Amino acid sequence: MKFTNAKEVISHLYSLPNLHAKNDLSYIKKILAVLDNPQDKVKSIHITGTNGKGSTSYYLSNLLRKAGQKTGLFVSPYIYEFNERIQINGKNIPDVDLVQMANEVEKAITTIRKQDPDFALVTFEYEAVMAFIYFAWQKCDYMVIEVGIGGQHDKTNVIIPEVSIITTVGLDHEKIIGPTIQDIAQEKSGIIKKGRPVVVGNVPKEVLPIIEKKAHNEQAPLYLLWRDFTVTDDQHITYACGNYQLSFKVRPRVESYDIAMAICAFQLLDLQLSSDKIRSAIDNTLIPGRYHLLKSEPLIILDGAHNIQAMKNLLEFMHAQREKRKGIIRVLITMMKDKDLEEVFSLFDNEDQVVLTTIPYPRAARLEDFPLDIQKRYPYESNWQKAFIRLKEESEKDDILLVTGSFYLVGAALNMEEK
């Protein structure tokens, strides 16, 4: 197979299966070996966590760029276009390079199939391999690699990073890496490598010993939020590590944790950057689809929160904004039907005016997928565009409109706004 345009590549990627029969790294290791192991040719930072890994990845990549490092970034999902998944210095991979990388992968698959006719990659493996080839080909100084799901068995776990980061541990993807929070912590700790430092964020006390034990066994220096570095968010976000302090623009509390982890990890790389430049890199970081401010009056925010922990953080922030503004909160939401819908919807206040919707995506919940009590409690509009336009029209100056529950919905809304 030889691709001629990006549309063909993306269509092929989505036609591939999502999982192998056995959950290991043998397939990706096999193809990377044929490609001369591009993942070993660029220094890397590996980031996992139930929430916050995308934001931390963006903050850290901006710090590296500010320090003059050519920086690759591999993240998911995308908001505007697929090419966002693979970036260098904040620029999405051009279509022509995407096609070239995919054709390199296809050549390697053809080589392997001479001995192993049934060899194939799953979607995420294919994407990760393209990213590794691209960053090596472009001679990046660093690549920031966001885990897809978990850690130990994630297809990105073929790198020996300069630093690993575990942002949070909570309940999500329990059927794949659970079922318990302890199982999830064990899986995420799998990115800790021998002798390589690991930065750990706001992790529940009951699972911290699992991460500490893994770090001890791997002789990996451990840097813990609240012990080795701290962050406060009173009037400003203030990061502190020993006698070193830095303040930033006000962000939601959960973002302050991500900022702190990114700075701590950056400092471990021993790159020189003044306090002013660190502040500038952080303050000018825009994270697509996360606390994305569309308008101030009324306050319109789009956020892809799609699990209990992320939704809890988001709604705490939104309810605090409502107290200040004294307006109404309207929420347009859809979620994937395999999420913990009952628990997520229990986080809304009686005052929140929630509208259920859906999007044309196979896993997206439709009316019948929502629990019965949620169907009875909230109105449903199958056409999300129609619902979004109506909610914007109903919102007055002091009101808040939140679009959430799925990055796919947030991405669609942002694309509609910018046409």
- For residue range 2-61, list pLDDT tens digits in order: 999 999 999 999 999 888 877 889 999 999 999 999 999 999 999 999 889 999 999 999
Q: Supply the mean pLDDT for the chain.
A: 92
pLDDT of residue 208: 95
> Is 6-283 a domain of CATH 3.40.1190.10?
yes
> What ranges do the domains of the chain cover?
6-283, 292-417
Cis peptide before 179 (omega within 30 of 0): yes
- For residue range 304-358, list pLDDT tens digits in order: 988 888 899 899 989 988 988 889 999 999 998 877 788 899 999 999 999 999 9
CA distance 348 to 343: 10
CA distance 150 to 367: 30
Instruction: Give the residues across from 71 on adjacent strands.
Output: 142
Put simply, whether the predicted model's pTM sits higher than 0.85 gets the answer yes
Written as six digits, the tokens of 214 are 């893994």
How would residue 201 be classed by pLDDT, with cut points 50, 70 and 90? Answer: very high
The angle subtended at Cα 75 by Cα 282 and Cα 260, nearest 5°, is 30
Written as six digits, the tokens of 345 are 């919807």
Tell me 125's DSSP state: H
Q: How far apart are the first and last CA of the chain?
A: 34
If you count them, how many residues does the chain have? 419
CB-count burial class (<10 Å; 0-12, 13-18, 19+) for 368: exposed
Written as six digits, the tokens of 18 are 């999502």
CA distance 68 to 63: 9
Phi, psi at residue 338, to the nearest 5°?
A: -90, 10
- What's the CATH superfamily of 292-417? Mur ligase, C-terminal domain (3.90.190.20)
CA nearest to 253, candidates 330, 201, 175: 201
